[in-house]
Amino acid sequence: MTTRRRLPLLAAAFLPLRPDSARAQAMGDATGTLGRILRSGLVRVGVWLEAPPWGSYDHDGTPDGAEVALARLLARDLGVRLRLQRLAVRDRIPALEEDRVDILAALVPVMSATSRRVAFASPHGELTVAVATRRDSAVRSLADLAGRRVALPDNTFAAEEARIRLPPDTTQLLMPDLIACIDAATRGRVDAAISYGWLLRDLSLSRPELDIEQRFTLTHAHHALAVRLGDADLLRFLNTLLYLRGADGTLAEIHERYLRGTPAVAPVFR
């Protein structure tokens, strides 16, 4: 029996691939946020749309990206409508805690500190924190940043990881976002910028004229879907979905579509 045919058997408690009577029973049995989603017919998913290829817009201005595709997949498997809620990077966790969204599909890194505030599903991707400089820079290693100015994107996992790794005599300059860090580096206002590998990859493909390149990797982290603490049924559904859609190749198809090749939308510099 193929994995696709096993879906209704392995996820019978949650996936809508069953008779109406059985689905109605599941709606009555589900608790917490999952029960509310099934009864209302709507799931609210928070997304970060300034993070191509995970979250951005297509040429028609419609939200798109790997995390957006995953949000659409989970809504389809729940059998409910999807409401995407655009969130700023620093508003992701508060939006979940304040019940403005049900699920975060917003490139949230799995960190011990964050795990005390939200519940993570099984990780489905990896983030790379990197150091970027102009092409003629002499910086080649972490030690080379001693005594230099480094731009850090405020309120991000990348900045938190950089703070504990940079040499003590590095001048750390907080910038409002990732693009501001890159802009400061290309203009020579700082000697290096802390960024993510995905952004530097996209810039190399979509903005090759920019005088910026990745020098070395600082650290890695997994990212995952997140729900509120205590939402056990919803978390179980997400982990079931990730397992089954990983086994049947759906997640691989999303990865192939969005995480390989030239990005469709380039970051906007203002």
Residues 97 and 135 in one domain: no
User: Pick from 120, 154, 126, 136: which is nearest to 217 by CA?
Assistant: 126
Residues 198 and 211 in one domain: yes
**pLDDT > 70? residue 51:** yes
Q: Structure tokens of 56?
A: 């951005």
Residue 8: what pLDDT?
39
234 or 113, which is more confident: 234
Q: Which residues contact 26 (CB under 8 A, 6 or more apart)?
A: 12, 13, 14, 18, 38
Residues 136 and 74 in one domain: no
Q: Is residue 55 part of a domain?
A: yes
Query: What average pLDDT does the segment 168-179 reach?
Result: 94
Residues 133 and 216 in one domain: yes
Residues 44 and 104 in one domain: yes
Per-residue model confidence as pLDDT tens digits over 126-141:
889 999 999 999 999 9
Q: Is residue 265 part of a domain?
A: no
Residue 256: what pLDDT?
87
Per-residue model confidence as pLDDT tens digits over 74-89:
999 999 999 999 999 8
Residue 265: what pLDDT?
37
Residue 157: what pLDDT?
83
Q: Is residue 267 part of a domain?
A: no
Residues 40 and 53 in one domain: yes
Q: Is residue 24 part of a domain?
A: yes
Residues 49 and 161 in one domain: no
Q: Which residues contact 68 (CB under 8 A, 6 or more apart)?
A: 47, 49, 54, 55, 84, 105
- Range of the structural domain that residue 38 is part of: 3-126+223-258
**pLDDT > 70? residue 119:** yes
Q: What gap in Å lies between CA 12 and CA 236, rounded to an integer?
A: 12
pTM across the whole model = 0.75
CATH code of the domain in which 184 resides:
3.40.190.10
Q: Is residue 263 part of a domain?
A: no
Q: Is residue 89 part of a domain?
A: yes
Residues 179 and 232 in one domain: no
Residues 76 and 195 in one domain: no
Residues 7 and 95 in one domain: yes
**pLDDT > 70? residue 34:** yes
Q: Is residue 32 part of a domain?
A: yes
* Total structural domains within the chain: 2
Q: What gap in Å lies between CA 163 and CA 24, rounded to an integer?
A: 51
Q: Is residue 85 part of a domain?
A: yes
Residue 270: what pLDDT?
30
CA distances to 153, 159, 226 from 114, in Å: 18, 15, 10
pLDDT-derived band at 6 (thresholds 50, 70, 90) equals: very low
Residues 147 and 179 in one domain: yes
Residues 43 and 144 in one domain: no
